[in-house]
Structure 1
Amino acid sequence: MTTSDDYESLPDSMHPAIHMAAGALAGIGEHCIMYPIDVVKTRMQCINPDPHAKYRGIVHAMREMMTNEGFFRPVRGMHVVAIAAGPAHALYFSCYERMKLLLSGSSQVGHNPLANGLAGCFATLLHDALMVPADAIKQRLQIYASPYSGAMDCLRKIRQREGLSVLYRSYTTQLTMNIPFHSVHLIVYELFQDELNYERAYDPISHVISGAAAGALAAAITTPLDVCKTLLNTQECCLVSTGGPTCVLTKSSTITSATATPPNKAFATEEAKGLISAVRLIYMQGGLTVFFKGLTPRVLYQMPSTAVAWSCYEFFKHFFSGKSTVL
């Protein structure tokens, strides 16, 4: 007879590939279902958006994109995420489950917030190693007037003009963001499970509620770091001044001043190479409020996406452990 622990961690006799498959399918579903909202978030977070890419909200942004850029514009670049999300989440969930078991030191898996948080840190290291370059390409395809015809064109031009190392420019920032994001996410998820599903039975409603709440809170807390990551991924440099002109990424893939440079203004051209320079550039563009641009679409993206990820992952754990009755 199987126990709840068999479901929580999958039986020892189960091949690790099956455990990883559950995570891969969950990750693909998480990123693809809410991808159009992720496009809106990226555009809203650009500190120097094109005048044609300034939106009043999510609905307005979606309508403008589909009307002016094509019906399928909100899903451009989704295949890049789908390809990377499978192996990245396979490593993430399998590492999380294994480290959670090792660090908890108890058969009551999922009831130790510290172990869950630390397990999330280790899992994030593997996840981001695969997702960071895919995220860099994806965001360059998401911006308005992207100079790239597709993912392969983007990769080729990056290699020729900047070097492939630029794909990992935001890796430190991504880790700085994702380690607290996933730690908070996993701790909150397990705490909600303690209240709604303490025995850790297969309960889709509790998985959806716990996942949505965990994703929303973690997303809100880490939004400033996400804004920095967007800058590092999409804009090579920025012309900074106080109340002066800004820079935009044009179709020729160069950064240019939006207006003429006033003679009485002092400017400094600086490349955003890392988190510290990104923070400084963003702050000089508009103060602390700029760090929370895109907060609403980020939270609205993470709530259903994390709910989908956990509900899919728990389903496949339940199914592969031999306890599921498929209707």
Structure 2
Amino acid sequence: MSDNNDEYDYESLGANSTMAQNAMAGALAGIGEHCLMYPLDSIKTRMQVVQTSATPTSNMAQTMTSSLRSHQQLWRGVYSVILGAGPAHALHFATYEFCKEHFHAFLQQQSWTTDANLQQMIATSTAGACATIAHDALMTPFDVIKQRMQLKDSVYRSVRECARQVYVREGFKAFYISLPTTLSMSIPFQSIQFTTYEGCLSMMNPSGNYDPKSHVVAGAVAGAVASSVTTPLDVIKTLLQTRGSSSDDRIRQCNGFWQAAKLVHQRFGYRGFFRGYKPRVLTHMPSTAISWSVYEYFKWFLSRNN
């Protein structure tokens, strides 16, 4: 097969491949992304947690130093990510490819715009939003367990024990109380990420060839931009997901987005909404680069073996 045909097959894989192929590539990308960056994500969680004391540890260097003293604790909860990230990312990327293809075809049939770039941007961002809803609906309970186990004073010895204790003490709603906030963060995050990634890729690699370097750079830029914009929402999400492990009654009684946001502002002011900003960006830059690189590689690999 000629090089041109190889390139065409790779670029059109989203339309020509099966749902199972997209899901497989997405699952491998998700597991690789989360597992490799898990220790830094644990540090970010510990920095974001609202403490009862008036002078909580919020410095990245201090948090990292204290965490590295017991480096094994930084991996607590990683099995929750492995269990959830595979299926959730499989659903995420399969939904993204399916929706992007159909939204783009729909927009091409409309008469209100003939701008191909605008059509692509709308199709990509909308598909990203749909993929996010599907992903978060499946992943949020696993994320709750992960963050409970990431806490420095966590007493849970296994994912199963953590899930059982959270259910017994707080009920089923504890696994989904942060879902509205998670979606309010993840939908703009993923829409920005997908749009930024596709935009960078079109500038760096206009030919559409398989180019690992452009996938890495575009993924890193997309992760940095999206994580920077959505950090305040991530702080609120972390408070809601870890509230049951707090000894502070006000934190334990937080029942939604606005209560959590008000509490963060009262304790730390506007700067409180950017707690954990550095480790969050440092986590998402390489993790998004890894995710897209692994995903694009398997798209290319599958296209060669179709």
- From the two aligned structures, give the one with the greater strand fraction: 1
With over 3 angstroms needed to count, the CA separation of the structure-2 counterparts of 1:11 and 1:270, relative to structure 1, is closer
**Identity across matched positions, percent:** 43
CA distance in 2, matches of 1:131, 1:205: 29
- Alpha-carbon offset, residue 109 of structure 1: 9.8
**Which position in structure 2 is the counterpart of 1:273?**
255
**Which position in structure 2 is the counterpart of 1:116?**
124
**Which position in structure 1 is the counterpart of 2:60?**
57
Q: Could you list the per-position Cα deviations for residues 106-131 of structure 1 after superposition, in whole angstroms to 9, with x for gaps in the alignment?
A: 6x899711110000010001100111
CA distance in 2, matches of 1:170, 1:316: 32
CA distance in 1, matches of 2:180, 2:233: 11
Q: Which has the larger radius of gyration?
A: 1
Q: Could you list the per-position Cα deviations for residues 45-66 of structure 1 after superposition, in whole angstroms to 9, with x for gaps in the alignment?
A: 11216799725324x4333223
Paired AA for residue 71 in structure 2: F
- From the two aligned structures, give the one with the greater helix fraction: 2
For the residue of structure 2 that corresponds to 1:89, the secondary structure is helix
With over 3 angstroms needed to count, the CA separation of the structure-2 counterparts of 1:42 and 1:195, relative to structure 1, is same
With over 3 angstroms needed to count, the CA separation of the structure-2 counterparts of 1:323 and 1:111, relative to structure 1, is farther
C-alpha contact (below 8 Å) 2:43/2:67 kept by paired residues: no
C-alpha contact (below 8 Å) 2:212/2:293 kept by paired residues: yes
CA distance in 1, matches of 2:29, 2:9: 19
CA distance in 2, matches of 1:172, 1:298: 20
**Which position in structure 1 is the counterpart of 2:144?**
136
User: When the two structures are superposed, what TM-score results if normalisation uses the length of structure 1?
Assistant: 0.84
For the residue of structure 2 that corresponds to 1:7, the secondary structure is helix
Q: Could you list the per-position Cα deviations for residues 213-232 of structure 1 after superposition, in whole angstroms to 9, with x for gaps in the alignment?
A: 00000000000000000000
**Which position in structure 1 is the counterpart of 2:280?**
298
Gaps spanning 5+ residues in structure 2: where? 109-115
For the residue of structure 1 that corresponds to 2:144, the secondary structure is helix
- Alpha-carbon offset, residue 286 of structure 1: 1.5
CA distance in 2, matches of 1:217, 1:19: 25
**Which position in structure 2 is the counterpart of 1:104?**
104
**Which position in structure 1 is the counterpart of 2:10?**
7
- Alpha-carbon offset, residue 269 of structure 1: 7.5
- Alpha-carbon offset, residue 73 of structure 1: 1.1
Q: Could you list the per-position Cα deviations for residues 89-141 of structure 1 after superposition, in whole angstroms to 9, with x for gaps in the alignment?
A: 111111111111111126x8997111100000100011001111111000000
Q: Could you list the per-position Cα deviations for residues 169-211 of structure 1 after superposition, in whole angstroms to 9, with x for gaps in the alignment?
A: 1000000000000000000001101110122210000000000
Over aligned residues, Cα RMSD in angstroms?
2.5
With over 3 angstroms needed to count, the CA separation of the structure-2 counterparts of 1:51 and 1:277, relative to structure 1, is closer
For the residue of structure 2 that corresponds to 1:54, the secondary structure is coil
Matching of residue 166 in structure 1 with residue 200 in structure 2? no
With over 3 angstroms needed to count, the CA separation of the structure-2 counterparts of 1:183 and 1:14, relative to structure 1, is closer
With over 3 angstroms needed to count, the CA separation of the structure-2 counterparts of 1:52 and 1:37, relative to structure 1, is farther
- Alpha-carbon offset, residue 150 of structure 1: 2.0
With over 3 angstroms needed to count, the CA separation of the structure-2 counterparts of 1:81 and 1:110, relative to structure 1, is farther
Paired AA for residue 91 in structure 2: L
Matching of residue 17 in structure 1 with residue 25 in structure 2? no
